Amino acid sequence: MHIHFLDPYHHRISLVHSLDARVKFVLTIAFILTTALTPHAAWPVYILLFATILAATLLSELGIGFVLGRAALAFPFVLAALPVIFTLPGPALTSFSIGDWTLTVSQSGLERFISVALKSWISVQAAIVLASSTPFPDLMMAMRAVGVPRLLVAIFGLMWRYLFVLADEALRLLRARAARSGQADQPGLKNGGSVTWRARIAGGMAGNLFLRGFERSDRIYMAMVARGYDGEVRVAPLPPLHAGSWLALGSGLAVLAILLGLAYWL
């Protein structure tokens, strides 16, 4: 059974897909750094950054709904910054009580939280466009080409490959459970046991998945070492960047520098 759903790459014929992976990787990292360094409450610059990544999404032909839907996964993690609404000093907007606690929402805290949420959302969109328009082997080659340490690239590569190993083992367990599970033919008769019984079975399957995944990953790694693997990504010499790639790289970095300067000027 194929587990291609783990691979976010979407084959398209677009300007973003045809761009060199090294250029896309550098521009994405620069965009995320620019977004992170943008001061809080710089709303006009946030709009320009969002417009920039929206233009990249349109050029990639991935679909705005696809990118925005995937980027929404960042919002649950943004809740970690929720306490800043109540802890940062500033003009009070409103107060409410929870038991013996009185929480005051400050204007500066609310601006900080909204800024963190927007910057996280925009940055995740950039990462989604990069991953969905560039095959993962090309991303690894781009990382090594721009000087990312070999150990870090090796960790990324092994993590990516072992995700598929773990998913394959999970599918095997689900197939085995389905093969051993009976279906009641009487209406109104529930299959399986109580909620506690189901939780115990699910816990046992999770432990079994960990052990099987660990053993299989160890066998895969030993097979790779036996074939000469040392952590280095070896490929044919990459071709030099042509004029169009240099123009895209220079233009993108210039636009990001202008946006960052505008953010601090405002």
Block mean pLDDT (10 aa), the chain, length 266: 58 86 94 93 91 92 87 82 80 74 80 90 92 88 86 83 80 78 62 69 82 82 84 74 90 93 86
Q: CA-CA distance, 83 to 79, in Å (whole number)?
A: 8
Q: Residues 132, 95: one domain?
A: yes
Tell me what pLDDT residue 94 has: 76
Q: Look at the chain and report how many structural domains it folds into.
A: 2
CB of 52 closer than 8 Å to CB of 38: no
Q: Residues 161, 64: one domain?
A: no
Q: Residues 101, 164: one domain?
A: no
Q: How far apart are the first and last CA of the chain?
A: 54
Q: What is the DSSP code string of 146-207? A: TT--HHHHHHHHHHHHHHHHHHHHHHHHHHHHHHH-----STTPPSS--HHHHHHHHHHHHH
Q: CA-CA distance, 39 to 17, in Å (whole number)?
A: 31
Tell me what pLDDT residue 185 has: 64
Assess if residue 35 is contained within a domain.
Answer: yes
Assess if residue 1 is contained within a domain.
Answer: no
Q: CA-CA distance, 56 to 212, in Å (whole number)?
A: 41
The boundaries of the domain holding residue 92 are 10-146+238-265
Radius of gyration over alpha carbons of the chain, in Å? 24
Q: Residues 139, 256: one domain?
A: yes
Provide the 8-state DSSP code for 25. Answer: H
Q: Residues 110, 83: one domain?
A: yes
Tell me what pLDDT residue 194 has: 66
Tell me what pLDDT residue 2 has: 45
Element (H, E) at 92: strand 92-98
CB of 248 closer than 8 Å to CB of 19: yes
pTM score of the predicted model: 0.79
Q: Residues 33, 158: one domain?
A: no
DSSP-derived 3-state class of residue 238: coil
CB of 171 closer than 8 Å to CB of 3: yes
Q: CA-CA distance, 250 to 256, in Å (whole number)?
A: 10
Provide the 8-state DSSP code for 16. Answer: H
Q: Residues 98, 140: one domain?
A: yes
Q: Residues 25, 51: one domain?
A: yes
Assess if residue 59 is contained within a domain.
Answer: yes
Q: Residues 119, 27: one domain?
A: yes
Q: CA-CA distance, 212 to 165, in Å (whole number)?
A: 10
Report the Cα 214 to chain-centroid distance in Å: 24
Q: Residues 105, 73: one domain?
A: yes
Q: Residues 81, 139: one domain?
A: yes
Tell me what pLDDT residue 261 has: 92
Q: CA-CA distance, 165 to 143, in Å (whole number)?
A: 23
Assess if residue 191 is contained within a domain.
Answer: no
CB of 74 closer than 8 Å to CB of 121: yes
Q: Residues 137, 51: one domain?
A: yes
